[in-house]
Structure 1
Amino acid sequence: MKNIISLLFLAMAWNLIPTKVSAQKKGDPMFQVPLGIASYTFRNQWKNGVPETLDIIQSIGFKEYEGGAPQGVDPADFKKMLADRGISIPSTGTGFEALESDPQAVADKAKELGAKYVMCAWIPHKRGAFSKEDADRAIKAFNEGGKVLKENGITFKYHVHGYEFQPYGKGTLFDYLVENTNPAYVSLQMDVMWTHFGGGDPVALLKKYGDRWVSLHLKDFRKGAPKDMTGLTGHENDVPLGNGELDIPGILRESNKIGIKHMFIEDESEKELQNLPKSIQYLRELRY
């Protein structure tokens, strides 16, 4: 009950923050887009009931949801359940193999939810050994699948997961992937924690690739925890925003310059209901 009361308080306070991206001046909030949530955050809650979980999401103040319908729930019904709570679904996800084998089916599922973006968060590869061959497979699937999605009015985006920063040429395999995908068909979503975890610099990469980035996953990483290029780490290393190693103010500043309009908090810890109020409070207090 204490957690729910805290979330309700934050929801009311959040309504004081403007959601339109515009020229910033001193004292303006750094977080200037609708409050979004990534569905994985609530993976432990669905078993308690879908309406009950959506009530929690609404009580926190989230206005955008990225993900699909929970297992066993009709997408159209799920879309209505969210809409009844004032929440839209701008973006959903797909597995790599589904995109590769039948992008039209991926587009059809996205349209059922009303999503305008489809995100893929993982490229198949041997753990810790992402290779040029893996990148080439992804480039083909992303260009071809992204074209089909665009023809259906949907933007495809690849969700960076950290393992792509293997050195290659004068840069990394991430650079190779970006440079060889068609900007007309392939956009990018930065998961700021996984980017950092794999050795990338979120602020520098936002600057480098500009409007290829269309959305963010916001999360923070425990100070001093070990990092590598597996794209995998323990849940205990996911901490509330502002409590870890990430330069969240710098990331928000650069994202606002680019004009990113969708940012989704993703809490991968096992304490999501305790951590979310802390993350939201931190975002609410950040000012230029």
Structure 2
Amino acid sequence: MTKPSVQSLTKPSVQLYSIRDAVDENIDRAIERLAEIGFASVEPYAFHLRIDDYKRAFAAAGVTAPSGHAATIDAPDASVIFDAAAELEISLVIDPFIPTERWQSVSSVQALADRVNALAEQAAERGLQFGYHNHQWEFVNRINGRPAYEIFLDLLTPNVALEVDTFWATVGSADAPALLRQLGDRVQALHIKDGKISEDIATILPSSEDALVVPAALKAAFENQTPAGQGDVDVIGVLRAAPHALRVVEFDAYSGDVFAGIAESFAWLKQNDAEVTA
């Protein structure tokens, strides 16, 4: 598999969805604040809808975007997204969300895999990679006794990239480090996310229409996410299991100042990732 051109592991990326309110208010200042923390790269979301804004803000802050999120699987014309990625010099395009209802039968998972395989081939023709980002329901939903995610992986072609959200994989009862060791170089990026994990949030799922429409227990789980190393995820084990993968800090939500939380994760990674990969 050809790897995307990612930054040094000592310079992790950050998913801009974490600061979505700040991005909506002032995208230039929001990204500048991340650069001030020390980030040299970011992971934008829905980047095809704000190409000029992202391009301007990236240039002003001196950051790059090796990876980006866009709802590509259900897009009527994926070439629009891939064209935008090329313009923004994004080499790894990730679809962030397919709802739980489509992970409950072999036929539905097969259809998803077929679509992802085709998109990966289309991306490769442009010198890009395409892949998928998990939540917990891909693991919680079991088909003939197997996690739907496992079936999905079996159906993917080798050129499909994976971005593993290690928090949500752990919530879904996966052993995240073991999963990463099993997948090896197929995993091109990690979402470094931490927090308190309890059984109830594994099976309480968001609306099938919008990942932001969530029950109270899941909303609390979002807000109780913590900087890396302060929650229940084996983040050290995750780092050791995928030393090659781009680290992308993310918070779905945060009860405090999200920029402060991101800065704590950045500092923790700077210290602990250097020790793990030394």
TM-score for both structures, normalised by structure 2: 0.82
Which of 18, 23, 26 pairs up with 1:49? Answer: 26
Give the counterpart letter for 1:106 in structure 2: I
Question: In 2, distance between residues paired with 1:252 and 1:84?
Answer: 31
Which of 47, 58, 66 pairs up with 1:82? Answer: 58
| Alignment-derived partner of residue 13 in structure 2 | 36
Which of 266, 279, 287 pairs up with 2:250? Answer: 266
* Contact kept in structure 2, 1:198 and 1:231, CA below 8 Å: no
Question: In 2, distance between residues paired with 1:221 and 1:46?
Answer: 24
Q: Which runs of 5+ in 2 are unaligned?
A: 1-6, 207-217
| Alignment-derived partner of residue 223 in structure 2 | 236
Q: Aligned Cα RMSD in Å?
A: 2.4
Could you tell me how far 1:148 is from its partner in structure 2?
0.7
1:284 matches 2:270: yes
| Alignment-derived partner of residue 254 in structure 1 | 241
Question: In 2, distance between residues paired with 1:139 and 1:102?
Answer: 18
Question: In 1, distance between residues paired with 2:35 and 2:23?
Answer: 14
Which of 121, 135, 148 pairs up with 1:161? Answer: 135
| Alignment-derived partner of residue 218 in structure 1 | 192
| Percentage identity across paired residues of the two chains | 24
* Contact kept in structure 2, 1:240 and 1:276, CA below 8 Å: yes
| Alignment-derived partner of residue 62 in structure 1 | 39
Could you tell me how far 1:238 is from its partner in structure 2?
1.2
* Contact kept in structure 1, 2:72 and 2:78, CA below 8 Å: no
Question: In 1, distance between residues paired with 2:116 and 2:73?
Answer: 11
Give the counterpart letter for 2:180 in structure 1: L
Pick the structure with greater CA Rg.
1
Question: In 1, distance between residues paired with 2:187 and 2:26?
Answer: 34
| Alignment-derived partner of residue 197 in structure 1 | 171
| Alignment-derived partner of residue 79 in structure 2 | 104
- The DSSP-based 3-state class of the residue aligned with 1:92 is strand
Give the counterpart letter for 1:282 in structure 2: W
TM-score for both structures, normalised by structure 1: 0.79
| Alignment-derived partner of residue 29 in structure 1 | none
* Contact kept in structure 2, 1:69 and 1:78, CA below 8 Å: no
1:171 matches 2:146: yes
Count of matched residue positions in the alignment of Structure 1 and Structure 2? 252
- The DSSP-based 3-state class of the residue aligned with 1:44 is helix
Could you tell me how far 1:72 is from its partner in structure 2?
7.2
Could you tell me how far 1:83 is from its partner in structure 2?
2.7
Question: In 2, distance between residues paired with 1:242 and 1:198?
Answer: 19
* Contact kept in structure 2, 1:89 and 1:115, CA below 8 Å: yes
